[in-house]
Amino acid sequence: RKEYVKLCFTFPSSLIRDPAGMQEGCTTQTLHRQCPIREILGITLTFFFKVPGDVMLAVVLCAYLEMEGIDLRDRSVIELGAGTGLLGIVVTLLGARVTLTDRAAALELLESNVQANLPPELRPRAVVKELTWGKDLDNFSPGAFDLILGADIVYLEETFAELLGTLEHLCSERAVILLSCRIRYERDLDFLRMLRERFSVSEVHYDSSKDVHIYKAQRGSRRDDL
Ligand SMILES: C[S@@+](CC[C@H](N)C(=O)[O-])C[C@H]1O[C@@H](n2cnc3c(N)ncnc32)[C@H](O)[C@@H]1O
């Protein structure tokens, strides 16, 4: 995997309320960052990237799940646009059964990262599957998931309608959608407007140090927490 950049993430417990404590160092091929997840204290995860990207939106969503004390054990979770898989892998380590999805071109890297970071006994709980928004949705049963996650997936205007359609397909009455977003352009707000037309949407967290918003969406007026 010479062509890939390797990043290591260490998850101590003490940084949970101290985002400024997140550290990043860089050598030629290896970056180290620290992120807060209590339950997987001390574990270092290793990810391969084609291009080192900003995974902070995924990290902030991991931290939100931790801060809220959301019990993920045996929950059925799907992640859209999983990219490196950081979020889905952490959620698997926290006890969920997770389907990590992305476009076909992203799956090899995603699968490598899942294999590299999950112990053999947890691997059956993480399934990597192609899901291009709006396509072949029949491969995913509506109502099969308790939680639908997306980190940094609201950024391409031409995908907004398909992304919304995918969320509508996947989200049952009892399911919860959590999206971590950075509002980079005015058009990103258009997606939130579209989302609000189909779901009850609330902003449940804002990390000002990282400029990351977390939105929760549910069907109807249901407001139950996980
Ligand atoms: C900015 S990256 C975020 C990756 C990861 N969630 C994270 O936070 O590090 C956006 C992801 O969405 C995926 N994506 C973009 N358009 C998509 C589409 N039409 N269908 C499915 N996935 C898509 C990309 O392949 C990429 O992995």
Q: How far is the CA of 49 from the centre of ligand 1 (A)?
A: 13
Q: Does residue 223 lie in a domain region?
A: no
DSSP-derived secondary structure letter, 156? -
The residue contributing the CA closest to ligand 1 atom 27 is 83
**Distance in angstroms (rounded) separating the CA atoms of residues 87 and 58:** 5
Q: How far is the CA of 112 from the centre of ligand 1 (A)?
A: 17
Residues 76/110/153/42 CA torsion (nearest 10 deg):
70
**Distance in angstroms (rounded) separating the CA atoms of residues 96 and 73:** 5
Q: Which atom of ligand 1 is nearest to the CA of 105?
A: 25
The number of distinct structural domains making up the chain is: 1
Query: Strand 97-102 and strand 76-80: pairing?
Result: parallel
Q: Residue 28: what pLDDT? A: 30
Please report which helix (H) or strand (E) contains residue 205, including its range: strand 200-207
**Angle, CA 60 vertex, CA 16 and CA 40 arms, to 5°:** 55
Q: Does residue 2 lie in a domain region?
A: no
Q: How far is the CA of 80 from the centre of ligand 1 (A)?
A: 7
Please report which helix (H) or strand (E) contains residue 60, including its range: helix 56-67
Residue 31 pLDDT > 60, yes or no?
no
Q: How far is the CA of 156 from the centre of ligand 1 (A)?
A: 9
**Distance in angstroms (rounded) separating the CA atoms of residues 180 and 164:** 15
Q: How far is the CA of 100 from the centre of ligand 1 (A)?
A: 11
Question: Which of 103, 163, 169, 210 should be mutated for ligand 1, with most atoms under 8 A from CB?
Answer: 103
Contacts of 6 (CB under 8 A, 6+ apart): 29, 30, 46, 47, 48, 49
For residue range 58-107, list pLDDT tens digits in order: 988 988 887 788 889 999 999 999 998 989 998 998 889 999 999 999 99
The residue contributing the CA closest to ligand 1 atom 12 is 81
**Domain that residue 139 falls in:** 54-218
Q: Which atom of ligand 1 is nearest to the CA of 180?
A: 8
Residue 91: CATH number of its domain: 3.40.50.150
For residue range 158-184, list pLDDT tens digits in order: 999 999 999 999 999 999 999 999 999
Q: Which atom of ligand 1 is nearest to the CA of 159?
A: 19
Q: Does residue 43 lie in a domain region?
A: no
Q: Does residue 133 lie in a domain region?
A: yes
What does the block give as tokens for 65? 């799940």
**Distance in angstroms (rounded) separating the CA atoms of residues 159 and 8:** 31
**Distance in angstroms (rounded) separating the CA atoms of residues 202 and 221:** 11
The residue contributing the CA closest to ligand 1 atom 9 is 55
More confident residue, 42 or 49: 49
**Distance in angstroms (rounded) separating the CA atoms of residues 128 and 100:** 5
Q: Does residue 118 lie in a domain region?
A: yes
**Distance in angstroms (rounded) separating the CA atoms of residues 137 and 199:** 19
Q: Residue 10: what pLDDT? A: 59
Q: Does residue 47 lie in a domain region?
A: no
**Distance in angstroms (rounded) separating the CA atoms of residues 143 and 36:** 31
Q: How far is the CA of 103 from the centre of ligand 1 (A)?
A: 8
